[in-house]
Amino acid sequence: SIKMDLLHSNGVLIIQHLQRDYKAYQDFLNFMSYVGDPRNIFSIYFPLWFQLNQVVGTKMIWVAVIGDWFNLIFKWILFGHRPYWWVQETMIYPNQSSPCLEQFPITCETGPGSPSGHAMGSSCVWYIMVTAALSYTVRWKDKSAVTLHRLTWSFLWTIFWIIQISVCISRVFIATHFPHQVILGVVAGILVAEAFEHTPAIQTASLRMYIKTNLFLFIFALGFYLVLKLLDIDLLWSVPKAKKWCANPEWINIDTTPFAGLVRNLGALFGLGLGINSEMFVTSCKGKNSCKIGFRILCIAASLATLQLYNFIRIPTHTEYLFYILSFCKSAAMPLTVVALVPYCVHSLMRTAEKKHN
């Protein structure tokens, strides 16, 4: 449609402007893309927050998973093009004068482009972190504290917006998103996070509840995919485009296909449910050690270290089904490690040390 073409071509002008005038900031922008990567939620933000505040940590995984699931459904409904292939395929540029957009190793995402998953994941998780941090300052009652609360409020929300805008600019700079797609992502992420501010039930969810939620999310997504397939709408239409127009075939990543993200998220939610409802968790995180600051710091350090090791586990990508099964298991192992395995080991070590001491 003419309106979309206009939106896209204006978007391309913005991308060209960024790539031309902000080339010096390329490393910073690539780094911000990494900061906004939804996968960091599970390997960095969650282990930190879960030991500081279990309510916030639990909410974080729920929001990340449900947010990313909505992102997938929206992507399937909106059929958003990505700039790096759109400029090659559109007919609006006369006689082969399509604009030249630079590509980077992280440009060639294979899913549809709208709304941006990075912008959505980043905004929903940072929104939760900021509101959680501010909920601590609300309790300060005296006069000077009110001023301090206001300053903290301004400071944290400024940080929030600096991060969101940087992530958005970085996604546009590398030509993987149009500006309207990242804006849509930020708004959608905030809405999902805000919705979870009002759902206390997730804090007391049983393992059955986690499994039911997982099944619902999986069956709905799969059903949606199959129904559209019956209607002759191919939801993986973006994958061949990505493969065709990516400057370097090695940059294509199976990790970014729609189902890879879904499986990763379902794994994480299942792992969290398994961990929170395990004996290990009850013994260690609900025991007398859990109040000690030393216990928490050890848990954070050990969790972060262990999760970095998971990054070295490369899942074979040649067989798709095997890739999905192993991806699910790896994703489930991460929250399980943070919630149950690491605290239990730390707890046992501390108990042994105490016995020796006595």
Q: Is 150 annotated as a binding residue?
A: no
CA proximity to 298, closest of 266, 346, 233 = 346
* Joined tokens for residue 48: 């930190």
Active-site residues, by number, are 118, 177
pLDDT over 70, % of the chain? 97
pTM over 0.85: yes
The whole-chain average pLDDT of the chain stands at 90
Place of tokens 């009002």: 198
- 254, pLDDT greater than 80: no
Cβ(265)–Cβ(334) below 8 Å: no
At 140 the pLDDT is 65
Question: What CA–CA distance (Å, rounded) separates 239 from 205?
Answer: 37
Q: Is 296 annotated as a binding residue?
A: no
The 3 state secondary structure assigned to 171-239 is HHHCCCCCHHHHHHHHHHHHHHHHHHCCCHHHHHCCHHHHHHHHHHHHHHHHHHHHHHHHCCCCCCCHH
Cβ within 8 Å of residue 66, ≥6 positions away: 192, 196, 217
Question: What CA–CA distance (Å, rounded) separates 263 from 326?
Answer: 10
Cα-based distances in Å from 165 to 78, 102, 170, 338: 23, 21, 8, 30
pLDDT tens per residue, range 205-228: 999 999 999 999 999 999 999 999
pLDDT tens per residue, range 90-142: 888 876 677 889 998 888 888 899 899 999 999 999 999 999 988 877 776 66
Question: Which amino acid belongs to residue 245?
Answer: W
